[in-house]
Amino acid sequence: MGVPAPLPRAAAACLWLLLLASSGSAQSTTSADGPKPQITSMLPANMSVGVSPAVNSSVVKFDRDMSTLGASLVFAGRTLPNTTAEASWSDPRTLVLPLHLQENRTYAIGLNGACRECKGVRAAEGAPLQPAVWTFSTWAAGEPAVSPGNQRDSAIEVLRLVLAEYAYRDRLGVDWEARWRAHRFQMEGAGTGVAFAEAAAGFLGAGRDGHVFLDVSGDVVASHVPVVDRNVNASLLRGIVADWREPNRHVATGRLGTSVRYVAVRSWAGGEEDYYPVSEALMSSWRWRGVIFDVRESAGGNVSRALEVAGHFVDRRVPYASHRRVDASAEGGFGPTEQLWMEPREEHAKYDAGVVVLMGPANVGAAESFILMMGAGGATLVGQTSYGSLGNPVPHALPNGVVLHLPSRQELLPNGEVLEGRGVDPDVAVEWDPSGADDPVLRAAVERLT
């Protein structure tokens, strides 16, 4: 029903260029009755960066019916948008401002101003909008452009994927649809893949899931960066553990006294051969009373490495955990629960002395799989509860080329509880010494083995 309000060119007044509606009736209305109208959304979004210069209008929505007789606009900022066409009301709650944008500019748009005549944006009942200013920036030449249509479809696809494919959709009780409505303009107005990914990450961050992230041609945009405590001090360990060796950055070995072997896996991200020193350190188990297997520093990586290392400690096939995949067509939203197994290492005899695993709050992902395997194999777990984040993110390509990674299955503890946000408990809980001067976890493990 648009009632176009033509906006004649006006002279610049100080910093501000006022473009006043020609229909004077709105400004001259004296009945400022009723509640003040509120802006419910604006596109391009306030403070958004990477807006495409191809965006050809600004769309402002209000919470109530507005007077469609005119609008007073205030354009400010470093550059004035080049408006050649007329602002118009596409319906009584939606104001459309035509824009001509250039690359690599910051724009500001204002509705209403401080002056008496600058109150043309008002509710149908009469109350004027409180002066509102918002800013946005366009992308610079050279950044990859994406079409606004793609952004819209991609924003819709992000919501669809969260609702249909995300295993932890309901974990924190997030109202994803309401949240999406609040974030969609940022996604839709993004002029680059990275700007889109950042907007989508803002939407997805409510899931507080380190395994939800976006990939823009190899640049990863995280939706959540977990802050983890550590119950280990690597430099302190080097002073305590005798014969300290670091054959590579994934593994360290040594001994405690003459009777306890020390093996640390500090990362699960290496190749198979990076863990051969672990196999070597576990040979001649008859020489030792036991082994302290320290994984406190380790986080994610390749679960194949965890299976290969844990295979030294069993002589038969052992179930260690389970998982279930999202299946929107299944009752309860998940497919059948599948048991996960570990296998003995055929070329190595089972490690045959006492085994204590040191664990803690930095353990996520493959490290948690390893802890579950070792627990199932009969090792004693010492330290603090693990972080509780074990995702196998599945990539989903969006129409704009950005790839969204979402965990598609829930990992379950042996008792059937969901691991996410819960973690694996140790058998022997030991608090960390925050002064860092001592390693009480290591000490508790040595006491158990000697």
Ligand X SMILES: *[C@@H]1O[C@H](CO)[C@@H](O)[C@H](O)[C@H]1NC(C)=O
Please, which residue, 217 or 304, has the CB nearer to ligand X? 304
44 near ligand X (CB under 6 A): no
**Judged by CB under 6 A, which of 72, 192, 233, 298 binds ligand X?**
233
CB under 6 A: which stretch of 233-241, 317-325, 356-364, 423-431 binds ligand X? 233-241
Mapping DSSP onto H, E and C, the string for the chain reads: CCCCECCCCCCEECCEEEECCCCCHHHHCCCCECCCCCEEEEECCCCEEEECCCCCEEEEEECCCECCCCCCEEEECCECCCCCCCEEEEECCEEEEECCCCCCCEEEEEECCCCCCCCCCEECCECECCCEEEEEEECCCCCCCCCHHHHHHHHHHHHHHHHHHCCCCCCCCCCHHHHHHHHHHHHHCECCHHHHHHHHHHHHHHHCCCCCEEEECCEEEECCCCCCCCCCCHHHHHHHCEEEEEEECCEEEEEECCCEEEEEECCECCCHHHHHHHHHHCCCHHHCCEEEEECCCCCCECHHHHHHHHHHHCCCCEEEEEEEEECCCCHHHECCCEEEEECCCCCCCCCCCEEEEEECCCCCCHHHHHHHHHHHCCCEEEECCCCCCCCCEEEEECCCCCEEEEECEEEECCCCCECCCCCCCCCEECCCCCCCCCCHHHHHHHHHHC
- Shortest Å, Cβ 61 to ligand X: 12
CB under 6 A: which stretch of 122-130, 136-144, 312-320, 375-383 binds ligand X? 136-144
**Judged by CB under 6 A, which of 16, 62, 107, 134 binds ligand X?**
134
Binding residues for ligand X restricted to 166-205, rule: CB under 6 A: none
Binding residues for ligand X restricted to 61-100, rule: CB under 6 A: 82, 84, 100
CB under 6 A: which stretch of 205-213, 230-238, 250-258, 391-399 binds ligand X? 230-238
Omega into 399 within 30° of 0, i.e. cis?
Answer: no
- Shortest Å, Cβ 427 to ligand X: 26
CB under 6 A: which stretch of 141-149, 316-324, 359-367, 378-386 binds ligand X? 141-149
272 near ligand X (CB under 6 A): yes
The residue sitting closest to ligand X, measured at its beta carbon, is 436
Please, which residue, 107 or 288, has the CB nearer to ligand X? 107
x/- mask, ligand X, residues 7-36, rule CB under 6 A, reads: ------------------------------
**Judged by CB under 6 A, which of 235, 258, 284, 415 binds ligand X?**
235
d(CA 208, CA 189) in angstroms, rounded, equals 24
- Shortest Å, Cβ 47 to ligand X: 5
d(CA 396, CA 183) in angstroms, rounded, equals 20
132 near ligand X (CB under 6 A): yes
Please, which residue, 24 or 149, has the CB nearer to ligand X? 149
Please, which residue, 141 or 220, has the CB nearer to ligand X? 141
302 near ligand X (CB under 6 A): yes
Paired tokens of 432: 């960390």
CB under 6 A: which stretch of 39-47, 175-183, 257-265, 393-401 binds ligand X? 39-47
102 near ligand X (CB under 6 A): yes
- Shortest Å, Cβ 376 to ligand X: 21
130 near ligand X (CB under 6 A): no
3 near ligand X (CB under 6 A): no
Q: Tell me which residues touch ligand X (CB under 6 A).
A: 39, 46-47, 56, 82, 84, 100, 102, 104, 132-134, 140-142, 148, 233, 235-236, 272, 302, 304, 436
